Amino acid sequence: MRLLSLSIFFLSIAIATRAADNPGIVKGTDQFEFVYRVKLPEIKGDARVWLPLAKTDAFQTVTEEKLNIPMKWEKVQDRDYGNDICVLYPQPADSGKTIEVRYRVVRKEKAAYSANSAEAARFLRPEKLVPLNETFKTLAEKAAAGKTDDFERAKAIYGHVIGRMRYDKSGTGWGRGDALYACDARTGNCTDFHAYFIALSRSIGIPARFAIGATIPADKNEGTIDGYHCWAEFLADGRWVPVDISEAWKNPKLADYYFGHNPANRFELTKGRDLVVDPEPASGPINFLVYPLLEMNGEVIKPETTFTFRRIGA
């Protein structure tokens, strides 16, 4: 017990120190347990649930410790991005049941990394809420005027988004990752910031893409996570470059860091927008998948969802 207490004590000191040096950022490597928990409402009639399942990639190693799904379900992948998705078929007898997925994660800090040249064309195409139009092209060309390569042009667009947008979750319309809304309202959350950046980048021929998951608090050992977080990447000089523009807006001193880095205290659940899956939701392709999508009798219902974490090691 004494050794465990000392370990927790030194872990607390390490976390406090790195948080003081870089608010919100863990550099190098982070290790944590992440619990994704959903409580179903009363099930009446035909119901299905689509729920993300995190995967291992070059920057995160994911071990599924426990998958507690006490009802009929199957695992599928979306057509374009290969995300793993759990599709549940709850019955009335499953009303009020809790679904829990428990992960152990080792996450590395992300910097620019090599790209597959075949990927470029896919990430120039528009999406339902991230269209291509003359307004985006005009704004992007103005922001990037005088810049001669894609890295510098993307950096100018990054600065434009920080200067034009304001992080604000009041009113309605925000949170859908609607680039047109973000352009007009000039406010929103992380999905809106990054949808706007992606639309601007693509409009002048810079491939860009979206990912979503959660930020693991840097200044705590364990607790509840208040909602999701998302980020983007753009392609330049044969490398994918990560950006986190909403966090840069909140922490201007870290704007240089967030252009080109994702800290280690991130957990990615899915990539991409307009996810096409089989079986397909009645509402069509999934805008983005982080919280579960529950449809009951063709209507979208929001179930109670919580994310919790516990940091492992220093």
pLDDT of res. 11: 45
Residue 224, Cβ neighbours under 10 Å: how many?
Answer: 12
Q: Name the band, by pLDDT with cuts 50, 70 and 90, for residue 15.
A: very low
In tens, the pLDDT along 159-185 reads 999 999 999 999 999 999 999 999 999
Peptide bond into 217 cis (omega under 30): no
- Portion of the chain with pLDDT greater than 90, in percent: 89
Rounded percentage of the chain residues whose pLDDT exceeds 70 = 93
Q: What is the mean pLDDT of residues 73-84?
A: 97
Contact 194, 231 (CB under 8 A): yes
Query: What domains lie within the chain, and their CATH numbers?
Result: 27-108+278-311 (2.60.40.2250), 113-270 (3.10.620.30)
Q: Roughly how many angstroms between the first and final C-alpha of the chain, as a whole number? A: 18
Average pLDDT value for residue range 223-227: 96
The C-alpha atoms of residue 308 and residue 222 are separated, in whole angstroms, by: 7
Task: Give the span between the Cα atoms of 177 and 186, in whole angstroms.
Answer: 12
| CA dist list (Å): 107 to 33, 55, 186 | 11, 12, 32
Bridge partners (DSSP) listed for residue 6 = none
User: Could you give the C-alpha distances from 59 to 20, 238, 265, in angstroms and in order?
Assistant: 24, 18, 11
pTM, two decimals, is: 0.92
Give tens-digit pLDDT for 90-131.
999 999 999 999 999 999 999 999 998 788 999 999 999 999
Q: What is the pLDDT of residue 21?
A: 59
Query: Position 126: which residue type?
Result: P
Model pLDDT for residues 265-307, shown as the tens digit of each residue: 999 999 999 999 999 999 999 999 999 999 999 999 999 999 9
| SS3 category, 178 | coil
Of 150, 40, 125, whose CA–CA distance to 91 is shortest? 40
pLDDT number for residue 23: 73
Give the whole-angstrom CA distance, residue 224 versus residue 71. 26
- For residue 46, what pLDDT is reported? 96
Tell me: the pLDDT tens digits for 33-57? 999 999 999 999 999 999 999 999 9
Checking if the pLDDT of 12 tops 60, the result is no
pLDDT, averaged across the chain = 93
- 242: its two tokens: 């990560």
- What single string gives the DSSP state of each residue in 105-130? EEEE-B--EE--GGGTGGGGS-BTTB
The whole-number pLDDT of residue 232 equals 98
Q: What is the pLDDT of residue 4?
A: 39
Q: How many CB atoms lie within 10 A of CB 42?
A: 11
Residue 236 to residue 208: CA distance in whole angstroms: 10
The pLDDT assigned to 64 comes to 85
CA angle 22, 24, 26 (to 5 degrees): 70
Distances in whole angstroms, Cα of residue 141 to Cα of each of 4, 125, 155, 167, 244: 57, 18, 13, 24, 21
- pLDDT given at position 253: 97
